[in-house]
């Protein structure tokens, strides 16, 4: 005879839900750990076969400009910071730069919506390291 107690039936449904939630949590945690590992790791030696400038032109210069000055329509529209200034280079440490590239930016500053998507599915960690090095190469030299 099937269990006639509806309370019991609901209870077992709940426990299935709980298990599913737990599983989802584990998967999300694993994904986050991977992202954090790629963000927090020390910059690896830039592999010779990665052309950071090429990646930059393909994915970043529309908003940030050819040399990080954000002298583009999109850059001006979103008041994107100029990466070639000492202030900018000081404001963002390596972890912050990599994190922005991995997860993106979505904020409103002085009433201006600033949005950049995350590139974790498009760029390999080595490519992100190479972009970081490229961005650092624009720091003013004096």
Q: Write out the residues near ligand HEC by the rule CB under 6 A.
A: 59-60, 62-64, 74, 78, 80-81, 92, 97, 100-101, 105, 114-116, 119, 131, 135
* CB 115 to ligand HEC: min, Å: 6
Q: Which is nearer to ligand HEC, 28 or 96 (CB)?
A: 96
Distance CA 59, CA 131 (A): 11
Cβ burial of 108 (10 Å; 0-12, 13-18, 19+) is: exposed
Distance CA 34, CA 125 (A): 11
Q: Which is nearer to ligand HEC, 62 or 142 (CB)?
A: 62
* CB 32 to ligand HEC: min, Å: 19
Q: Which is nearer to ligand HEC, 81 or 129 (CB)?
A: 81
Cβ burial of 70 (10 Å; 0-12, 13-18, 19+) is: buried
Interior angle at CA 56, CA 48 and CA 58, nearest 5: 110
Q: Which is nearer to ligand HEC, 14 or 122 (CB)?
A: 122
Residues near 29 by Cβ (< 8 Å), separated by ≥ 6? none
Distance CA 130, CA 124 (A): 10
* CB 26 to ligand HEC: min, Å: 29
Q: Which is nearer to ligand HEC, 69 or 114 (CB)?
A: 114
* CB 98 to ligand HEC: min, Å: 8
């Amino acid at each position: 005879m099937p269990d006639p107690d509806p309370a019991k039936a609901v209870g077992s449904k709940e426990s299935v839900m709980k298990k599913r939630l737990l599983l989802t949590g584990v998967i999300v945690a694993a994904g986050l750990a991977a992202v954090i590992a790629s963000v927090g790791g020390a910059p690896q030696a830039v592999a010779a076969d990665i052309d950071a400038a090429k990646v930059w032109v393909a994915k970043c210069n529309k908003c940030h400009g050819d040399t990080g000055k954000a002298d583009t329509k999109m850059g001006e529209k979103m008041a994107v910071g100029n990466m070639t200034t000492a202030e900018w280079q000081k404001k963002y440490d390596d972890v912050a730069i990599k994190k922005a590239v991995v997860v993106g930016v979505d904020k409103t500053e002085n009433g201006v919506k600033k949005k950049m998507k995350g590139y974790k599915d498009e760029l390999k960690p080595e490519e992100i390291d190479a972009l970081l090095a490229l961005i650092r190469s624009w720091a003013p030299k004096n």
